[in-house]
Structure 1
Amino acid sequence: MKITRPLRALVVVDGTDVHHDLLGAATALRDTVLEAGVVAEAAVGLDRFVDATPPTSEADVLVLYRSGVVFDPAQQQALSDRVAAGAGLVVLHASNLFGYGPGGLEADAVAHELFGSRYVSHGDHGSEGTYTVELTGEHPVTAFLDDFVVEDEFYVIETREDVRVLAERVDPDGVRHTVAYVRDHGRGRVCYVALGHDMRAWGSPYVRQVVRQAVLWAGGVDLADVETWSTRFPLGNGRSLGPAAGGGAR
């Protein structure tokens, strides 16, 4: 990978583990990011955005897995400022639970604008199942992939108008729901991926590839360098998820 220096990423988890395995997610995400050739550490708690220790202040990309409804306004603003100044941000799954805590959506306004969406519901067809993730256009986050099947939780989200949708799913009623998108925030890049409820998703080579490439894109890595590194894992030995492996190439 032709990068002048290794990217540094910090995986941050926060909230309650009643509905999501935060510690398991932290480990799985750190390992996934490491597969992309990125220096990665895991951390707990959003106060690190307000009182930034070196692992936070030196990170090129922040990867957030949040499971809770309380997001202190000072933490939101500090994270927003960090991304606006040029840091990349990859936001996963339940991290966009906005409007459900004290103060409603107004209290989460800064993070809502930064992330670009909010969780609404699981929809009308149960909370989880097996479905196809359909890619909607060419982008470095979803490059070298075709549509893929995943077993994961269903999310219905509302997105802001300035997002670029990269992937969708179609529910049994024929309604299309956003699964992944990107947006710009100041000098920083933001990617949201709705996938990742549990280890069924984190174990998918396709989900892991999307996360790896989201981190690389958010960190400003050129597409050619994404191809030479991210698509090789987790199969190893120089093999890829391309046609020979039956995974499809894009």
Structure 2
Amino acid sequence: MRAVMLNGSGRYADAWHRYSETTAALAELVAEAGFTVEVADDVDGALASLTDDVALIVVNAGDPHASTPEGETAAVAEASVLEAANAALEWAIDRGIGLLAVHTAAASLHDYPAYERALGARWVRDSSWHPPIGEAAVHIVGNHAIADGLEDFTVFDERYTDFRLDDVIEPIAEHEHEGIRHPLVWAREFGHSRLVYDALGHDVRSYESAGHRALLAASLAWLARVPAPTANAR
């Protein structure tokens, strides 16, 4: 099984995340799940060149539309590349593929309508937020296959809060802030494809948590089973 990891570089980089480090940590887990991993620094180019033997796309990339601390915005991808990339991604989702989106991926790939539809919820600038990074309790919830056998765990990480909900999501894990539960990890099926979004993963300390690693292993096992046998039509 081939996995393409979209690493936050170029217009998908930012000043707050060391994507090369978290991508390397995440790549080890993806390889342990049985995938052959290819890390792509050219996000748009990698999507444009997707082939039918790619079974998993991992998105560990930032917001290409966000301004830098200096107020500059990243360069825009060439229209021809975006057109080809959108067509390739839509075809991959139509035939059946696994998508693992982590942390800032909730604010990434804004130029891809198929990704927008797949994600189910979005980080929205000036509306979504997170408490200060630190030791956090993660609560496993629901009866999804991914949650089977998992237990609550702690992790040193950011806890993304107040996503914009765009469609139905099936929560796998939540965090609690001021007495209110917020989704951290969710799963979705659409057409023949599957997606897991994991809001954790700010830095490599997140992947040192045994509980987080177990959750990702279960997520990757579920994502590997595509085309989805009982997917919901959209």
Question: TM > 0.5 between the two?
Answer: yes
- 1:112 — aligned with what? 116
Amino acid of the structure 1 residue aligned with 2:47: F
- 1:162 — aligned with what? 168
- 2:203 — aligned with what? 198
**CA shift for structure 1 position 215:** 1.7
CA contact (8 A) 1:11 1:29 kept: no
State the aligned residue count: 203
**CA shift for structure 1 position 38:** 2.7
CA contact (8 A) 2:121 2:167 kept: no
Unmatched runs of 5 consecutive residues or more in structure 2: 66-75, 227-234
- 1:243 — aligned with what? none
- 1:138 — aligned with what? 143
Q: Of residues 82, 91, 102 in structure 1, which corresponds to 2:101?
A: 91
TM-score, scaled to structure 1 = 0.73
- The more displaced of 66-75 and 56-65 is 66-75
- 2:91 — aligned with what? 81
Unmatched runs of 5 consecutive residues or more in structure 1: 1-6, 100-104, 222-250
Amino acid of the structure 1 residue aligned with 2:24: T
CA deviations over 1:137-173 (Å, ceiling 9, x no partner)? 22232332111111101211223332111111110x2
Q: 1:80 to 1:168 in 2, by over 3 A?
A: farther
Distance in 1, matches of 2:114 and 2:35, equals: 28
Distance in 1, matches of 2:100 and 2:94, equals: 14
Distance in 2, matches of 1:98 and 1:22, equals: 13
Matched, 1:217 2:222: yes
Q: Of residues 168, 180, 185 in structure 2, which corresponds to 1:180?
A: 185
CA contact (8 A) 1:8 1:58 kept: yes
RMSD: 2.3
**CA shift for structure 1 position 17:** 4.3
- 2:48 — aligned with what? 50
- The more displaced of 65-74 and 182-191 is 65-74
Q: Of residues 58, 64, 68 in structure 2, which corresponds to 1:63?
A: 58
TM-score, scaled to structure 2 = 0.77
Q: Give identity over the alignment, percent.
A: 27
